[in-house]
Each structure stands twice: as C-alpha cells, then as structure tokens.
C-alpha cells in the first residue's frame, strides 16, 4: 500500500515536471522575454544587462532547472502586461474560478443524477424522452451562445440576475475571497454556473443512465428482486449505490476540465477568474501567465487523480490485492 | 463654475463640430445643478465599464488614452484641458516664456498629495526625471535634453535646446508624482529594471487629483474615492468610482441596459438604437478626433506580404491612387458605421484645422481605379495582405472586410489579417520592424493640431523608426517635412494653416501617401441619472460627472 | 472534453470481423425501428450533401469578397416584411447572402470536424494498439500521457497551439493557418478515448488463440495489429468517432468565439454565430438565428446517430 502511494506520488511528480518543461519551452522560446519586458527605445546595453540578470545566457538545462525550481516555489516571474508577479495575479483570481467550478459541479450532480436515474428506470416514458432531448439540445449549442441567451433573458428582459462579474465578495483568511456569502454574489453565480454545468449535467445524466441500466441487469439485483424487496429499495439501495462509484470518479476527473472550460463562461460573464486571465494573456502573448496556468491545471489534475487513486485503493479490496500482486 | 463653462463654450462655437455636443452637456449640467441641491443623500457611486482592462495605475507605464484618462483621476499635470480641450492652469497657476528656449512655471501653493506630502518644485523636477526612466512610455512629453531647474519652491524653469511652441500641449498626461513618496516606496522608476520585483506604482498611486485610489485589482476592478482635500472646487458630486473591464460587447450592453453600470464605452454600433430605446439609458454620440486611415509600405524594395516579387507596387503613385478611388467611403459610412462617421479628406479632424473645408475626398471611381492599375502594369491586379486590429477602433474588422470586397472589384486580392490590438501593434510598429505591407490605423493628434500628425505619421523615417516613428509605411517626401517644420516655427495661426495646406495637398492628394477614411463617432452609453461631459478626444473625466 | 466510455462486449468471445458483427446486430433493422434515428440519419445525410454540393446550391460564393456588396447589408430574410427576394435568409453586415454563407460554413465546419476526428482517431488507434500489444513500460508511458492529455481540453490546447503558431509565424495569414490550427487542436485533444478503448480491446484480443497462432507462424506485430486486431475494435471506434464529430463541430464554434477560429472572410458556422451574436440585441435576429439552428440541428443529428450506433453495437443493451 505504501509502495503504491509512493509510486503514484513519483508518477505525479513526473507529470508535473513534464508539463513544467513544456511551460519552460513556451516561456523561453516563444518570443524574446527581454523584448517583452522593456520598451522600444531601450538601448542594447540595458538589454544585455537584463539578459545577464535573468540568466538567459546560461545553458538551456541550467535555465530549465532554474525555471522548475522557481515554479516549485510558485515563482513564475512578472506578467508582461500587468507588471505584477504571476503567482499573485493567479492567486487573486483562483477563488473565483474554483468557486464557480464547485457550484457548477454541484449543480450538474444535483440535476444530472436524478434525471439519469429517472431515464434509466422509465426508459419509455415521455418525461424520460424529454429529459434526453433537453440534455442533447444543451450540448448541441455552443456554450457562449447559451450564456448570451441567458443574459438576454434573465438580465436584460427580466432583470432578475446580474449580467457580469461576481457581485460583492467577502474575504476569508488572507487570500481567499468568496461571493457565496453575499446576496449579490449568490445572484451573480447562478447564470455562469448554469452555463458551465449544462455540459457536465448531460454527461452525468447519460453516465448514470448507462450505469444504472447495466447494474439493473446484474445478478445481485435479480436476486434482490427475487427476495421480494420492493422496487424502490432495489433501485435506490442497491442499484443507485453501485452506480455512483464510477459517477463520482468521472465527476472528480472532470473537475480539471470544468476549470479549463470556465475560460468561455468567464469571458461571456466577465467573471474575474483565472480563465479570463488566461485568455487575456494568450491574446497579449503574456507567456509567464500562460506557463503558470498550464502548470496549475496539471497540478490540479495530479491532485485529483491521486486522491481518486487512493480512495480506490482504500475502498476496493480487489484493487489492493492487484497492487500487492503487481 | 457653470458660468465659466458656458462662457468657454460660447467662445468655442467657432468650431462647429463641438458646439452642439457641448451645448447638450451644458444643458445637462445646468439641469443637474438644480436637481443636486434638492436632495443630498446616500453615497454616490459611479460604476464605469470599458472594453479593455487597466493594466497598471502608473500613468507613465502606457501611452494609451484609456490608461491616461484613468491616471488623470489621481494624478494631475502642470496643465489640464477643459471640456472644450482648452488648456487650463492646473498644478501650475501660470507660465511665461522668458525667451523661446526658456519657460518659467509658477506652481500652485497649498496643494497636498493624497499621502499628505506638500506639492513643491522638487516634485516637478523629480517627475521630469522619472518620465525618462526605464519603462516610461511617455518619454516624448519632455525632450531628453531639456533642463528642468528649480528656481524656488514654487517656481520651475524648463530650458530647451530647440524652440517648441507645443511644449505643454500634452502635459495633461504628465502626472506629477510625489518625490518623497516615490523614494520611500522604490517607485522612482516607471518600471523597475529588476524584472523580479514588481513596480510599486503599478498597484499604488499617490497624486494630487480629485480621486484617491482605493484598490486596483488588475483586470478585475479598480476603485477610487473622492479626495475631500482637493485644491479645486469639485464639479462632480461623486463619493466613489468603480471601474470594471467588460470585454464582451453583448455583456457590456446588457449590463448597461439592466442598470448594473452607469457609464460604458463603447456602445457597439448595432446596439445603439437599443440603448437609446431603453427608458433608463441613452447613447451619447459625437464626432471623435481620431481619423481612421489606410497606409501602404512605400519603403521596402519588395513587399513583405504580397505576390508581387522584385518590386514594390506601392512605390507607384498610380497604384496608391487606384486603391484610394476603389474604396467607397460613403458605403462604409452608411453601412458599416451606420451613419456614425464623418468621411475624411485629411488625416486631421475638421474641427482641429481651419482650412479643412477646402479639401474634398477624391471621388470613388472603380473604373478610373482599374485604369490606373492597368497603367501601372497590373491589369489583373495583385495580391496583398491587409493588417487590421479587431478590438481597437469602432468596427475596425468590418471596415477592413468591406475594403477587401471593394478592392476585389478592381482585381486586387486582399488577404485580411485581423488580430487583437496587442498583437497587431507589436507587429506593425517599430518594435515589430514595421512588419506590414498594407494596414489600417487610427490617429488622434495629442496636441490637437496638424503638426503632430506630420511629426509622427507622415515625416520620413529610417528603418529603425527615427523620424516619423509611427509612419509605418515609410512614406517620405522631404518637401512635406520641410513645410511641416516651417509651419512649426510660424507663430501666426493663419499663415501656419496656409503652410499646412500645402503639406496636406502634397502628401495626401499629389502623393496619395495615405488613404484617409473617416473620423469615427464616439458612442458612450450612459444611464439617464448620470450626467457626463464628453470630450471629443474620448477622455473620461470622472471629476466632471454628476449623478442624480 | 467529456469522456465517452465505450465498452466492448466482453462476454462474447469473438474473432468475427466488424462487418460480421454489424450484420449480426441487425444494424439496419434497428436503424429503421426508431423514427428519431431515421430522421437524424436523414438530416445528417442532407447536411453532408449540402456541404459537398454547396458551390452548386448556393446562389453566391460568400468566400469571394467581390460578390458581396455593402449596399445589400442587413437585409432581413425574404419571408419577412422588408426582405429582399434575392436573399432567402437575409444578409449579414457585409451584404453576404446568409443562405450561401451557411452552406459554405457547413462545409468548413464539417471539414474541420472530419479531419480533426480522423487525426485524433489515427493518433489514438495507433497509440492504443501499441500500448495494448506491447504492454509493460511502453503501455504505462502511453497511458500516462493519455491521463495528462485528459487534463487539457481542446479549448486549452487550441489556445496554446494558436499562441505558439502565432508567435512562430508572425503575421502569417490567418486564412492559411487557422484551418490547420483547428484540426491539430481537435485531433490532439480527442485521441485519448480511442487510445483507451483500443488498448482495452487489444489487451483482450492479443491473448486469443488466433493471435497466438499468428504470432507462432511469425507474422510481424504490425501485420497482426492491422489485420487481426484492428478490425475487431472498429465498432467502438466508430461510435467514438461519431460522437466526437459532434463535439469537434461545437469545439470549432467555441474557438471561433474565443478568436482562435476561422477569419470572418472564410466563415465556418461558428464564425457566423460569433459575428451574428453582435446583432442579437439590435433586432437583426436572422444573422445569429439561422447559423445557430443549422449548427444545433447538425450536432443534434450526429449525436443521435452516435447514441443509436452505441446501443446497436452493444448487445447487452438489447
């Protein structure tokens, strides 16, 4: 078990280093960092000095190592466009994105699971057909268009919800901010979260439906039925419980992609998160931010993956055996 | 204060372009002055949104009108400009030229910075130094060989090496920093040379102006509060100003329509009717001073982005004229700009040049254009790339697209490259080696007169950009340069304009060095409970805003 | 993007070819048994035909700037009051006939989708076969890469690829690079599902007798993979490809919105929607509505086909 954890940890670090090297190549070779930092009229002598100071004349492996070492200390340098440390910029934007991703995940679970269960149990009913059709329409329209339509309907026409931003935020601790404790913050998160959740909801609904159908055909369900347990008990005590394990896994692994997907949602709703920052930095060729964002996404993924792996190992005895056997 | 404005406005009616708009503003302000006395109640917060973000609050960091306008809420220059663009005393109460090379400024007494420091001559001398430090983007506001000398605490001399009647023309944008504060916080340079420590002044500000910076979250939100100890009588009645960048057009319009913001810029052209029809909002439109024009690479022996090899077709005036006459500006104005543009014969707004009325655009004539092309040796046209920003000017990308269609009809195949302004400028300006063959650009003369246009856009330049720094295509006619410089030395306004007339005639009509298209219209979206004054250079002055 | 888990029918030990299984699963019968599927199939066919024959159907060529006249801009559709009879669905802000633009845009969207899916499929199948067949270290490295890849959705990859390409080819013409950028980004982000599915099947297949026999008589691994294993994994691959086609088309539209897509002079459906959404508040509803409906109908139809294909090829769902 310990060996397994250690192995996974090493693998995770390997992944991070690999992504870190990609980020370094981005940083070092896409555009000249010095050109990006100084003005047009800066004389050559000052450029040379800055080049020396930044260590850009060292051999590439030395530079790569330094980049990784700095990254490990969360030092990604200074953003070309904002003249601020990248880690501070990303740190200030992170709560907004994580909060949005979290609320969107909850929404997609709360809506997706019941719809999935219903469509699996009542495959031929009209409501099930409606759910399936709706979920398909949801993923057949581009996210940005859904966002704009929501704004048009709920912000402009009905005036119920704010069209942009995060509302009022409350500071928790030294750096975390939350909009979930204020009225305007809660109102602000509804539309972006729905927009972001729609795709995941469809995914979850279809996954639950497929798993449920699979499980319902399994022997132990038949036995349960044969024992005379009520349908309700069979469905919820046995079938759903067994369905949820893969669902939770997928949802966990999807968190990374929700965060990345928020680029679109954040742009439409001017949500002050990392996705918007990343898009701006792509448009402005602000390589330090791009590199740091890349690493952040990889880091998030590695953490989630590790947790999922460990949970599996803890929950599933067969896997434990397999690990020991391997 | 109001009377002052009206008086200034009346004196200004000579320039018809501004008069009507100014009148509106005055009516608004008058109405408001009455209303404001009735109820003095809860805190008034102005919520302002713009399509771009504010990168840094240091006004030296970026010479861009939006950043400069935001900077002017906190920092003040020795002079400032009023709603009619007239130069007014600000931190300097008066000035005189002892001789053409020697200017003396008398500074305002009793002014304090937000941090409590007294404003003195030392701060002016310091700010002149800071202006030339690493990372400053406003270096050209004071020539590098100028000596700035403190005479006493409230008198400063500027000793020049060349006479420059336009010395103070752009000084509104040169905000004065506190020497003490800058030294205490290591903010003596615009950007710290050491790229690992962030410049303090990018996030913090300490000026003498009407508003105090409360917080700046780059790309998210910037908050100012009223400066209760401002030396001037405030024209505004605000307690707080909040700026949010909203890049998405649809979202920005929606936010205004639903009352979440009070003032935003720009209103996309298609949405103007909607904003006007909405009971609580209106569009405040007016001619802007910016001229949109097309330019060609006339410098390289072979174009960088074209299928013509071994020669540069744009070196032939017939080709340039053919392009000019193939473009139907009237259609661009009515269809792309929905009527909100003034077709331009010159690269300066008519309101800034008294003899502009003597110039007419060359006629749209595709037949003549085809003939000219054939005469120049391109009967079947040729291919060229057009570089265009897509987030800088009103409908820039759509204008370029329309140009592509019009040139296609005389056989020229244009490949359109429309990209965000950051990439666009990085490539086509000096820093990118002027990497373009054919481009669209806009220009507002910061000094509000013709010379500035010649100086930056029309004057000959070398490959590095010495000379006409923004003359991207490298148009060059020494005769034009000679005329422009002669005009600069001429003190008589009328004679000066006559000299400029010759220069305009040669550069834009004889040589067809550029194709002026139009002056675009400003379009601010404002809530009806907010009364703003629109300056034709699209400068946002919070200190002139009143709220019901 | 999303992960679509497609499982092979494990229960049925089979060495039959894909075609054989198609016949067994009564594909045609199941296709005809569902009205929804028939409609979706017909729609998809119509869209593909419209895309292929766009130059013959469309009244004008919207990619030719000389054929659009500004004077015709913002005309409402023919059937609305004020509509011009020349323009069935009206015109956009450049005077482009919307009906023609949609037909050509459909062509571009489908081309990008198909090429993206083909690229992703080629990468994924190859890596999946190698991983499954070789096993051991190679397998774990490939699957590790696949794990990392899953973290970076198409949007992110496209933005990065675009950023890199833009920085390397300064001022390159968008019209020439955008198509490649989109296909590469979509291909690079969609290969994982193929790789995982194919690897799983390969693991099962490689221990079967016929593969062992082929090995014994000295067939090269490449030949075994191509001749014997590949045909057996085509079913699930086809399902993934269909669903990915829908995803690819949506992804292209989204990238257009973020400014990485095709230029407005050569619009895809996504570009048309991006342009059209500027006119959403101003009453010129047709510019965004018609391309959106086309896109939604296309994606929906392809998705439904994918659903049906998955159910039809999975005997356990019968």
Task: Please indicate if any CB of chain A lies within 8 Å of the CB of B392.
Answer: no
Same domain for A250 and A296? no
User: Does residue A195 lie in a domain region?
Assistant: yes
Residue A326 has pLDDT above 80, yes or no: no
Looking at residue C171, its pLDDT comes to 53
Domains of chain C: which residue ranges? 32-69+83-317
Please report the DSSP string for C155-216 in residue order: HHHHHHHHHHHHHHSTT--HHHHHHHHHHHHHHHHHHHHHHHHHHHHHHHHHTSHHHHHHHH
What pLDDT score was predicted for residue C179? 86
Residues B467-516 have pLDDT tens digits of: 888 899 999 999 999 999 999 888 788 999 999 999 999 999 999 999 99
| C-beta of residue B151 within 8 angstroms of C-beta of residue B92 | no
What is the Cα–Cα distance from A90 to B410, expressed in whole angstroms? 51
**Interface test mutation site (partner C, options A19, A31, A128, A140, max chain C beta carbons within 10 A):** A140
Number of domains in chain A: 2
Give a yes or no: residue A232 inside a domain: yes
Q: Are residues A277 and A293 in the same domain?
A: no
Tens-place pLDDT, residues A211-223: 888 777 777 777 7
Beta strands B263-265 and B530-531, pairing class: unpaired
Does A64 share its domain with A135? no
> Which residues partner with B521 through β-bridges?
B287
Evaluate whether residue A106 is within a structural domain: yes
Residue-level pLDDT at A79: 83
What is the pLDDT averaged over residues C241-259?
Answer: 87
Query: Residue B511 region, left (φ>0) first, then alpha (ψ -120 to 50), else beta?
Result: alpha
Structure tokens at B204: 């913090």
Boundaries of domain holding A237: 101-285
Residue A81 lies in a domain: no
| Chain C touched by A7 (CB under 8 Å) | no
Structure confidence at residue B406 as a pLDDT band (50, 70, 90) = very high
List residues bridging with B88 in a β-sheet: B80
Contacts of C275 (CB under 8 A, 6+ apart): C92, C93, C264, C267, C287
A128 with A140, same domain? yes
CATH number at residue A216: 1.10.3720.10
Distance (Å) of CA A95 to CA A83, A103, A178, B242, B470: 21, 12, 7, 21, 42
Q: In this structure, is residue A271 part of a structural domain?
A: yes
State pLDDT tens for residues C107-130: 999 999 999 999 999 999 999 999
Query: Distance between CA atoms of A29 and A108, rounded to whole angstroms?
Result: 40
Q: Are residues A121 and A249 in the same domain?
A: yes
Residues A140, A275, single domain; the answer is yes
Contacts of C144 in chain A (CB under 8 A): 11, 14-15
CA distance B285 to B340: 8
Interface residues on C facing A, Cβ-Cβ cutoff 8 A: 1-3, 5, 144, 147-148, 150-153, 155-156, 159-160, 162-164, 166-168, 246, 250, 253-254, 257-259, 270, 273, 277, 280-281, 288, 292, 295-297, 299-300, 303-304, 316-317
The pLDDT score that the predictor gives to residue B450 is 93
pTM of the model: 0.83
Q: In terms of domains, do A21 and A144 share one?
A: no
The answer to whether residues A281 and A292 belong to one domain is: no
Assign B539 a pLDDT band (cuts: 50, 70, 90).
very high
Option in C5, C258, C303 nearest A279 (CB): C258
Query: A4 vs C236, which has greater pLDDT?
Result: C236
pLDDT higher than 70, residue A164: yes
Contact of A290 with chain C, judged by CB distance below 8 Å, is answered with yes
**Is ipTM beyond 0.85?**
no
Q: Which residue has the higher pLDDT, A303 or B365?
A: B365
Name the pairing type of β-strands B546-547 and B263-265: unpaired
Distance CA C247, CA C252 (A): 9
Tens-digit pLDDT profile for residues B10-54: 333 333 444 444 444 444 444 444 444 444 457 899 999 998 888
For A285, name the nearest residue in chain B, comparing CA atoms only. B423
Give the Å distances, CA to CA, from B450 to A105, A118, A188, B329, B429.
59, 73, 48, 22, 21
Residue B2 has pLDDT above 70, yes or no: no
- The answer to whether residue A80 sits within a structural domain is no
Residues 78-107 of A with CB under 8 A from C: none
Token pair in block for residue A20: 């870190």
What mean pLDDT is predicted for residues A29-57?
69
Closest CA to A175 of A96, A274, A86: A96
- The predicted structure's pLDDT at residue B17: 42
The pLDDT score that the predictor gives to residue B36 is 41
Find the mean pLDDT for residues B350-358: 92
Mean pLDDT computed over B451-478: 91
**B contact set with C (CB within 8 A):** 249-250, 253-254, 257, 268, 270-271, 273-274, 305, 328, 331-332, 335-336, 385, 387, 390, 397-398, 401-402, 404-409, 414-420, 423, 427, 432, 435-436
Together in a domain, A138 and A280: yes
Q: Kindly write down the DSSP assignment for every residue of A176-230, as one continuous string.
A: EEESTTSHHHHHHHHHHHHHHHHHHHHHHHHHHHHHHHHHHTSHHHHHHHHTT--
Cross-chain Cβ contact C151/A301 below 8 Å: yes
- pLDDT mean over A303-309: 78
CB atoms under 10 Å from CB of C158, counted, come to 26
pLDDT score at A299: 86
Q: Closest Cα to residue C34, out of C316, C225, C307, C317?
A: C307
> Chains near A, with 3+ CB pairs < 8 A?
B, C
Q: Test C65 with B404 for CB contact under 8 angstroms.
A: yes
Residue C259 predicted with pLDDT over 80: no
C173 pLDDT band (50/70/90 cuts)? low
DSSP string, B480-526: HHHHHHHHHH---HHHHHHHHHHHHIIIIIIS--EEEEEEEEEEEEE
What are the residues whose beta carbons fall under 8 Å from the beta carbon of A127, sequence distance 6 or more?
A118
Together in a domain, A179 and A121:
yes
The CATH code of the domain at C32-69+83-317 is 1.10.3720.10
The arithmetic mean of pLDDT across residues C258-263, rounded, is: 78
Shared domain for A199 and A261, answered yes or no, is: yes
- 8 A C-beta contact, residue B531 and residue B546: yes
| Pair A38, A168 in one domain | no
């Amino acid at each position: 078990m310990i060996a397994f954890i250690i192995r996974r940890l090493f693998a995770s670090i390997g992944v991070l280093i690999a992504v870190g090297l990609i980020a370094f190549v981005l940083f070092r070779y896409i555009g000249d960092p010095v050109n990006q930092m100084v003005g047009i009229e800066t004389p050559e002598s000052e450029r040379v000095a800055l080049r020396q100071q930044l260590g850009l004349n060292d051999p590439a492996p030395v530079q790569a190592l330094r980049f990784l070492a700095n990254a490990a200390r969360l030092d990604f340098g200074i953003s070309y466009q904002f003249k601020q440390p990248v880690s501070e910029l990303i740190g200030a934007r992170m709560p907004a994105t994580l909060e949005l991703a979290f609320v969107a995940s909850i929404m997609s679970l709360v809506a997706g699971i019941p719809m999935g269960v219903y469509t699996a149990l009542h495959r031929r009913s009209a409501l099930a057909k409606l759910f399936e059709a709706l979920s398909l329409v949801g993923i057949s329209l581009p996210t940005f268009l859904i966002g704009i339509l929501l704004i048009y309907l709920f912000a402009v026409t009905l005036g119920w919800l704010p069209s942009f931003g995060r509302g009022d935020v409350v500071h928790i601790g030294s750096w975390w901010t939350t909009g979930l404790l204020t009225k305007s913050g809660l109102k602000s998160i509804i539309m972006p979260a729905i927009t972001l959740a729609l795709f995941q909801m469809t995914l979850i609904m279809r996954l639950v439906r497929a798993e449920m159908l699979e499980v319902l055909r399994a022997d132990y369900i038949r036995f349960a039925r044969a024992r005379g347990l009520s349908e309700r008990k069979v469905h919820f005590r046995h079938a759903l419980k067994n369905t949820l394990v893969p669902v939770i896994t997928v949802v966990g692994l999807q968190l990374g992609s929700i965060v990345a997907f928020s680029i679109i949602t954040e742009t439409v709703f001017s949500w002050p998160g990392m996705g918007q920052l990343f898009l701006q930095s792509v448009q402005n060729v602000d390589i330090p931010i791009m590199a740091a964002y890349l690493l952040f996404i990889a880091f998030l993924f590695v953490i989630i993956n590790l947790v999922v792996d460990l949970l599996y190992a803890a929950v599933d005895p067969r896997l434990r055996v397999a690990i020991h056997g391997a | 204060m109001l009377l002052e404005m009206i008086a200034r406005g009346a004196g200004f009616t000579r320039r018809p372009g501004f008069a009507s708009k100014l009148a509106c503003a005055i009516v608004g302000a008058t109405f408001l002055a009455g209303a404001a006395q009735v109820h003095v109640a809860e805190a008034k917060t102005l919520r302002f949104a713009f399509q771009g973000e504010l990168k840094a609050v240091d006004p030296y960091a970026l010479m861009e009108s939006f950043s400069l306008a935001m900077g002017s809420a906190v920092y003040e220059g020795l002079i400032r400009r009023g709603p009619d663009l007239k130069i007014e005393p600000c931190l300097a109460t008066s000035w005189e030229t002892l001789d053409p090379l020697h200017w003396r400024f008398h500074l305002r007494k009793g002014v304090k910075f937000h941090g409590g420091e007294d404003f003195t001559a030392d701060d002016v001398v310091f700010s002149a130094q800071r202006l030339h430090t690493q990372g400053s983007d406003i270096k050209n506001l004071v020539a590098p060989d100028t000596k700035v000398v403190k005479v006493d605490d409230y008198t400063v001399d500027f000793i020049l090496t060349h006479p420059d009647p336009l010395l103070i023309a752009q000084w509104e944008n040169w905000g004065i920093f506190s020497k003490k504060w800058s030294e205490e916080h290591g903010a003596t340079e615009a950007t710290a040379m050491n790229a690992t420590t962030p410049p303090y002044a990018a996030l913090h500000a300490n000026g003498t102006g009407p508003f105090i910076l409360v917080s700046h979250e780059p790309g998210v939100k910037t908050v100012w509060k009223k400066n209760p100890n401002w030396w001037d009588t405030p024209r505004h009645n605000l307690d707080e100003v909040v700026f949010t960048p909203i890049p998405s057009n649809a979202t920005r319009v929606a936010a205004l329509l639903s009352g979440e913001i009070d003032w935003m810029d720009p209103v996309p052209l298609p949405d103007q009717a909607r904003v006007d029809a909405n009971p609580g909002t209106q569009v405040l439109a007016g001619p802007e001073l910016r001229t949109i024009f097309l330019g060609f690479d006339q410098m390289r022996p072979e174009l960088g982005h074209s299928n013509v090899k071994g020669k540069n077709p744009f070196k032939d005036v017939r080709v340039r004229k053919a392009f000019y006459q193939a473009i139907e500006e009237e259609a661009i104005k009515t269809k792309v700009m929905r009527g909100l543009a003034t077709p331009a014969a010159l690269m300066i707004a008519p309101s800034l040049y008294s003899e502009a009325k003597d110039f007419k655009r060359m006629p749209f004539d595709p037949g003549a254009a085809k003939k000219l092309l054939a005469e120049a040796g391109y009967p079947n046209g040729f291919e060229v790339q057009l570089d265009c920003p897509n987030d800088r000017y009103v409908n820039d990308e759509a204008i370029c697209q329309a140009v592509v269609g019009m040139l296609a009809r005389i056989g020229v195949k244009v490949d359109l490259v429309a990209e965000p302004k950051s990439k666009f400028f990085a490539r086509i300006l000096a820093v990118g080696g002027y990497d373009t063959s054919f481009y669209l650009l806009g220009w507002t003369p910061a000094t509000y007169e013709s010379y500035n246009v010649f100086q930056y856009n029309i004057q000959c330049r070398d490959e590095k950009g010495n000379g006409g720094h923004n003359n991207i295509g490298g148009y060059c006619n020494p005769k034009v340069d000679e005329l422009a410089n002669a005009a600069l030395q001429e003190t008589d306004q009328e004679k000066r304009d006559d000299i400029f007339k010759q220069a305009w005639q040669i550069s834009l009509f004889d040589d067809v060095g550029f194709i002026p298209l139009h002056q675009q219209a400003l379009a601010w979206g404002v809530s009806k409970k907010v009364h703003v004054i629109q300056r034709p250079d699209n400068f946002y002055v919070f200190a002139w805003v009143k709220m019901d | 993007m999303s992960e679509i888990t497609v499982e092979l029918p494990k229960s049925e030990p089979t060495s039959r070819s894909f075609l054989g299984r198609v016949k067994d699963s009564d594909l045609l019968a199941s296709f005809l048994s569902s009205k929804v599927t028939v409609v979706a199939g017909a729609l998809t066919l119509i869209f593909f035909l419209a895309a292929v024959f766009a130059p013959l159907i469309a009244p004008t060529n919207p990619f030719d700037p000389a054929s659009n006249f500004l004077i015709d801009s913002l005309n409402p559709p023919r059937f609305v009051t004020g509509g011009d009879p020349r323009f069935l669905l009206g015109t956009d802000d450049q005077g482009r006939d919307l009906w023609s633009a949609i037909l050509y845009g459909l062509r571009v969207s489908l081309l990008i989708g198909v090429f993206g899916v083909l690229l992703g499929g080629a990468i994924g199948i190859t890596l999946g076969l190698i991983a499954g067949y070789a096993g051991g270290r190679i397998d774990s490295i490939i699957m590790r890469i696949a794990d990392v890849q899953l973290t970076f959705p198409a949007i992110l990859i496209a933005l990065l690829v675009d950023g890199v390409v833009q920085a390397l080819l300064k001022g390159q013409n968008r019209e020439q690079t955008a198509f490649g950028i989109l296909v590469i980004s979509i291909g690079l982000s969609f290969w994982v599902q193929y790789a995982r599915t194919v690897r799983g099947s390969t693991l099962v297949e490689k221990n079967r007798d016929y593969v062992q026999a082929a090995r014994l008589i000295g067939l090269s691994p490449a030949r075994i993979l191509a001749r014997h294993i590949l045909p057996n994994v085509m079913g699930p691959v086809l399902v993934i490809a269909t669903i990915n086609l829908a995803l690819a088309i949506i992804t292209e539209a989204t990238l257009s919105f973020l400014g990485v897509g095709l230029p407005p002079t050569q619009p895809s459906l996504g570009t048309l929607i991006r342009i059209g959404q500027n006119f959403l508040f101003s009453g010129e509803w047709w510019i965004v509505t018609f391309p959106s409906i086309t896109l939604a109908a296309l994606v929906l139809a392809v998705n439904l086909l994918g659903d049906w294909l998955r159910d039809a090829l999975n005997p356990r769902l019968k």
